[in-house]
Amino acid sequence: MSRSFCCGKREIQAYEESHNGAGGQSMTSMILFLLTKDQAVDAVLARFVPAMKAMPSYEVQVAFKSNHGQLKSNLILDGMKRLFYDATTTSGDRYTLSISPSGYREVERSQKTYDEYPYPGRIRLYSSRISPISETLPSWLLAGDLHNLIPNGSAVKLEGTETLNGEVCDKVMVVFRSRMGNADIQMSVAKSGLVYYYHSVINTPRGKEDDAWTFSRYKPLSNISEARFENRVPDGFTPHSISEHATPVEVDHKADLSGWVDSKTGTVWNPAPGKPVLFVLTSAGSLPSDRAVEAVKKWRSSFEASGAQVAIASDEATRSGAGGLLYNPSQKSVQALGAPSTPMLFLIDGKGMVRNLWMGFAPDGAAKLKQDLLNAIAAAQ
């Protein structure tokens, strides 16, 4: 799939700076067209701001077409706080992005991989490391004002009307020319202020990008549940990369299990001295974690009969988000464990040394995992 741009300004500017330097000759000094100050055009573009203010949270169906491929997607925007984007190409590739207080997560289903970032506190788009499909998201909808999408020095004019989704739309044409690249953009803006079509053709010495977004409907939303932004990682998917940690726990290293608190009672948890501990670290909202917790709870009596303590903890930072598990208010013990992914199972002997590590949980390997755990517990006595 192609890369998407607000309107090509960033691509043209990036190429210009790579040749002239960021402090070199400015883009505006190479303009062949001057910005047309057309009152009618300004009035059409100005409709967008009140339309977005009147509908801060909404769902919209989007069709995308470029010189690299096609896809259909569903986009949910909740102000500037939460976003959900689910896109499927005509070839069957599927990509999902979710940004909410539960985290920033991308899932690429055809490649069976995922990537995560901490929640940035608002809608902020990172450059995807796992899928070019992410760049088909119409991020220009977040611009706040359609005037911001137009490069300085463009010729802007109206070119008639068209009817889309039952609404009469004014067609705004933007033409930008410079020595380092050209951009031609068409926006179809309804009388209501909503954008129903956005088409950009970008030409630079690096190549041509022809991207078009068509919107079939906008649906205002209110009181959107967190479930609408759920983006679980399926079993068997692998992280894009395993993070490096300053003090990762490894086999034969000391494990810091201090600072864990029971989320139901608020009491500090301390392992019984001299007994092995099977310590399970999970993530809230993770399907593999949920299944690992369910399995370990089912096997708990077997592990305890073999002489081990069982502790199930969440990497959630708050008591309310720990779901009845142990949680670590300071996060220092979470960081000390250095788990690159969850679920993570640690077997720690009676002296506090890590004896075994297991990462992930696959239902079809549950029986083998249980036996491996029992064997390791017996060896750790």
Of 370 and 6, more confident? 370
Name the pLDDT band for 3 (thresholds 50, 70, 90): very low
Asked if 296 contacts 288 with a C-beta cutoff of 8 angstroms, the reply is no
* The pLDDT value given to residue 18: 37
Burial readout 330-363 (b: 16 or more C-beta within 10 A, e: otherwise): eeebbbbbbbebbbbbbbbbbeeebbbebebbee
Number of domains in the chain: 2
Q: What is the pLDDT of residues 181-204, one digit of tens each?
A: 899 999 999 999 999 999 999 998
Give the domain-ending residue among 229, 262, 284.
229
Domain endpoint, select from 183, 208, 229: 229
Residues 307-324, mean pLDDT to the nearest whole number = 84
Quick one: pLDDT at residue 152?
84
> Do 281 and 185 fall into the same domain?
no
Q: Is 4 within the bounds of a domain? A: no
For residues 87 and 201, state if they share a domain. yes
Residue indicated by tokens 């017996």? 378
The C-alpha atoms of residue 318 and residue 118 are separated, in whole angstroms, by: 15
Helix pair angle (366-379, 287-305), 10° resolution: 40
Bridge partners of residue 174, in order along the sequence: 156, 185
Residues 284 and 164 in one domain: no
Q: Residue 119 to residues 143, 157, 162, 242: CA-CA distances in angstroms?
A: 20, 40, 40, 18
Residues 20 and 151 in one domain: yes
pTM over 0.75: no
**309-314/277-282 β-pairing:** parallel
Task: Please indicate whether residue 247 or residue 112 has the higher confidence score (pLDDT).
Answer: 112
Residue in this structure with the two tokens 């903890």, named with its chain if needed: 313
Which whole number is the average pLDDT over 330-342? 80
Residue ranges making up the domain that contains 170: 9-229
- CATH code, domain with 251: 3.40.30.10
Domain at 118, CATH number: 2.50.20.20
Q: Please provide the average confidence, as pLDDT, over all residues in the chain.
A: 85
User: Do 320 and 180 share a structural domain?
Assistant: no
Residues 177 and 303 in one domain: no
